[in-house]
Amino acid sequence: MTTPIRSTAARKRIFIVEDHPIFRLGMTELINDEPDLAVCGDADTVPGALSAIERLSPDLVIADISLREGDGIELVKALQHRCPGLPVLMLSMHSEALYAERALAAGARGYIMKQEAMDSVVGAVRLVLAGRIYASETVKDRIMNGLFQPAGDGKTMAVNRLTDRELEVFRLIGRGLSTKEIAHTLNLSVKTIGTYRERIKEKLRIKHATELVQCAVHWTSSGDPAKGTERE
């Protein structure tokens, strides 16, 4: 369900994909206070966002990575095919050390942490609308210095070996969702989620389902998701 908000032709139209109503409202008010920006609609799921974005044709999308149905990175990938050229600014509470590079690789034009969103989002929006990429200096340095090593490198965190979809399944396991619930959330079959679970166990060198759940819960609940999962 979307909530269209009146805007003028002179203002750039922003669409927000966020499943926390209070945060979404705050972001909407912040953007609408700007003379050159206006929120034209919002959604809290990937299917709802795709439908509304194609109908409303916004100038930019702000999307959270964690959504009730699907995830923001999959949304970015879908928009690359359905709305080529539409810039997306990713918003997340998750560590940029792990998610920023994935988001940018998927086609996002920027990545901003929720903790700094209210202070930085307007500047980030304008930067992305101008055709540039928004990222913290830390992320820029990591990318420029090649600190994201290929999978299998001894310096690579174990979680970095997971694909985007495997990482999303791992995160949902950590939130306590069952295989059936994860399948429903991601609009996939139970069998497919079972396959992802087995791949995750193999890549993280985990033998038992109970250990997988414990590892996922620890990783998800840790202050820095980039820590605590290396298994050497």
| pLDDT, greater one: 139 or 199 | 199
What's the mean pLDDT in 224-231? 40
Alpha-carbon distance 157 to 226, whole Å? 7
- Residue 141's pLDDT is 62
pLDDT category at 13 given cuts 50, 70, 90 is very high
Question: CA angle, corner 171, sides to 111 and 230, nearest 5?
Answer: 90
Helix axes 137-144, 96-106, angle to 10 degrees: 70
The answer to which of 3-7, 17-21, 62-66 has the lowest mean pLDDT is: 3-7
**End-to-end alpha-carbon separation of the chain, Å?**
46
pLDDT category at 194 given cuts 50, 70, 90 is very high
Residue 16 has pLDDT above 90, yes or no: yes
Is the CATH code 1.10.1200.10 the one for domain 158-221? no
- The model's pLDDT over 47-60, given as tens digits with 9 standing for 90+, comes to 999 999 999 999 99
Q: Which residue type occupies 142? A: R
Angstrom CA distances, 224 to 94, 218, 228, 231, stand at 8, 10, 9, 17
CATH 1.10.10.10 segments of the chain: 158-221
What's the mean pLDDT in 132-155? 57
97's CB contacts (< 8 A; 6+ apart) are 138, 142, 224, 226
DSSP 8-state secondary structure symbol assigned to residue 205: T
What's the mean pLDDT in 155-182? 81
Mean pLDDT (the chain) is: 81
Residue 17 has pLDDT above 70, yes or no: yes
What's the mean pLDDT in 158-166? 83
Angstrom CA distances, 9 to 35, 38, 59, 74, 87, stand at 12, 10, 11, 30, 19
pLDDT category at 142 given cuts 50, 70, 90 is low
Q: Hey, what are 12's tokens? A: 């750039």
* Contact in structure between 114 and 26 (CB atoms under 8 Å): no
Residue 178 has pLDDT above 80, yes or no: yes
Give me the percent of the chain exceeding a pLDDT of 70. Answer: 80
Q: Which residue type occupies 182? A: I
175's CB contacts (< 8 A; 6+ apart) are 220
pLDDT category at 157 given cuts 50, 70, 90 is low
Helices (H) and strands (E) in the chain, counts: 10, 5
- The model's pLDDT over 76-128, given as tens digits with 9 standing for 90+, comes to 989 988 998 899 999 888 767 677 878 887 889 888 888 777 788 999 999 99
Angstrom CA distances, 20 to 17, 23, 39, 65, 120, stand at 9, 6, 16, 12, 19
Give me the percent of the chain exceeding a pLDDT of 90. Answer: 37
What's the mean pLDDT in 174-178? 84
Residue 222 has pLDDT above 80, yes or no: no
pLDDT category at 152 given cuts 50, 70, 90 is very low
CATH topology of domain 12-144: Rossmann fold (3.40.50)
Q: Which of 33, 34, 41, 35 is nearest to 6 (CA)?
A: 41
CATH 3.40.50.2300 segments of the chain: 12-144
